[in-house]
A and B are shown apart, each in its own frame.
Chain A
Amino acid sequence: MKALNWHPAESAAFREGVISAVPLTVGVAPWGVVTGVAMVSAGLTSTQAVGMSLLVFAGSAQLAVLPLFIAKAPLWVMYATALIVNLRYFIYSAVLAPYFARLPRPWRVLLSYITVDGVFAMFAGRYRPGDGAEHKHWFYLGGSVLSWVIWQTASVLGIFGGSLIPRTWSLEFAATLALTALLMPLLFDRAVVSGAIVAGMVSLAGSRLPMNLGVLLAVIAGVVVGLIVTRFVPAAPAAGGADVP
């Protein structure tokens, strides 16, 4: 069985990935706890919350959907919101595809499921497709597995610890604060900041709209404004593709 013989270079790359991802876990752990607490305070049972954490494994989408879930938004609005928050993964996927194109399909499925922002950024900064580093997918797997383990542990801690925290502490507000911190790396140029400001205003103005449609309208307005600003206020070329957060 070849699969059981872990090549030394593979295990070395895996280990290097794990070690390189350690600094990222400082951010991942509290975010996981907050998401765990937020799921339970939104009314999910602990089984449902653990299920969501394992199956979805997308903290920002989970946090973004929970206020809509509390407000009893229709499913399709929640799906649309999650999709929009996850649009950044389309870019990651396009960037990663040439790196992993030669791997067997189960590998590509696994590496897709386990992709997170921090490891993606670290990996794309370190390797290039076809750079001769044959074991770089093991590096990617190592960093991702560490992030996954830390995230799931933190999330479970939040799920089971969250119910012990008194409601009067308003801990559900921590989820909004966590989203605020997650937002910052996404605000990379003037166009996206302008779009985001408009989105905030539209969302506030549209908060009474039925089915929480204000959020979706706000995204459309934000993207349109962002594109207009890019068109008329030329940004530095550095804002291109390579420095995706």
Chain B
Amino acid sequence: MSPDVRVWMLITGLAAIAFVSRAIFVVPGSRLSLPPTVERVLRYAPAAALVAIIVPDLFRLEGVVTLSLDNPRVMAGVVAVVVAARTRNILMTIASGMAALWLASRIMHL
């Protein structure tokens, strides 16, 4: 598969997934209520997925996941988590995390 085809397969596949997950009950006009356990699974999975994406990405050193705290990204991640939890503000989270990344890489590479 050429890289270009792969990208468009990704885009169209994601488009279908995004639409179907929003439309699945609205478009047929169904009136069902989800069983509590199903609803719990649907609510727990996205949080688990985001954490599963974020954590290894914080531990990446030159592209490779490395279990070491001597990594500016880990420091920046800790700062971002604290700011995100306190402010719930995306702009503050990004700004403080990027500032922490910059500072930490300065300090660590003295």
Which residues on A are within 8 Å of B, measured CB to CB?
26-27, 30-31, 34, 44, 48, 51-52, 55-58, 60-62, 64-65, 67-69, 75, 78-79, 81-94, 96-98, 100-102, 105, 108-109, 111-113, 115, 170, 173-174, 176-188, 191-192, 195-204, 207-208, 214-215, 218-219, 221-223, 226-227, 230, 240-241, 244
Q: Which residues of B contact A98 (CB under 8 A)?
A: 31
Residue B23, interface by CB 8 Å: yes
In the bound complex, what is the Cα–Cα distance between A62 and B8 (angstroms)? Answer: 13
Smallest CB separation, A165 vs chain B (Å): 12
Contact of A113 among B14, B19, B28, B56 (CB under 8 A): B19
Cβ B11 vs Cβ A56 within 8 A: yes
What residues of A have a CB within 8 angstroms of the CB of B42 in the complex?
87-88, 90-91
Contact B18 A96 (CB under 8 A): no
Interface of A is mostly: helix
- Closest CB-CB distance, B100 to chain A, in whole Å? 10
Least distance between A70 CB and chain B CB atoms (Å): 9
For the complex, give the distance between the alpha carbons of A202 and B15 in Å: 28
* Chain B residue contacts of A92, Cβ below 8 A: 22
CB proximity of A39 to chain B, nearest CB, Å: 10
List of B residues within 8 angstroms of A108 by Cβ = 23, 26-27, 29
Given contacts A65-B10, A112-B19, A177-B98, contact A199 B48 (CB under 8 A): yes
| Inter-chain contact A219/B81, CB cutoff 8 Å | no
Interface size on B, residues (CB 8 A): 68
Residues in chain B near residue A187, CB distance under 8 A: 47
The residue in B13, B53, B57 that gathers the most chain A C-beta atoms within 10 A of its C-beta is B53
With contacts A112-B23, A115-B22, A173-B97 taken as known, whether A183 is within 8 angstroms of B13 at the C-beta atoms is: no
Q: Which of B9, B43, B76, B84 contacts A173 (CB 8 A)?
A: B76
The answer to whether A179 and B27 touch across the interface, beta carbons within 8 angstroms, is: no
CA distance A215 to B54 in the complex (A): 10
Contact of A87 with B22 at beta-carbon distance under 8 Å, contacts A82-B17, A173-B101, A204-B59 already known: no
Is there contact, CB below 8 Å, between A184 and B84? yes
Within 8 Å CB of A112, what residues of B?
19, 22-23, 26-27
4 closest A-B pairs by beta carbon, nearest first, are: A222-B48, A112-B23, A218-B52, A203-B52
| B106 nearest CB across to chain A (Å) | 13
**A-side contacts of B88, CB under 8 Å:** 181, 184-185
Residue among B77, B90, B93 facing the most chain A CB atoms (10 A cut-off)? B90
Q: Does the CB pair A30–B22 fall under 8 Å? A: no
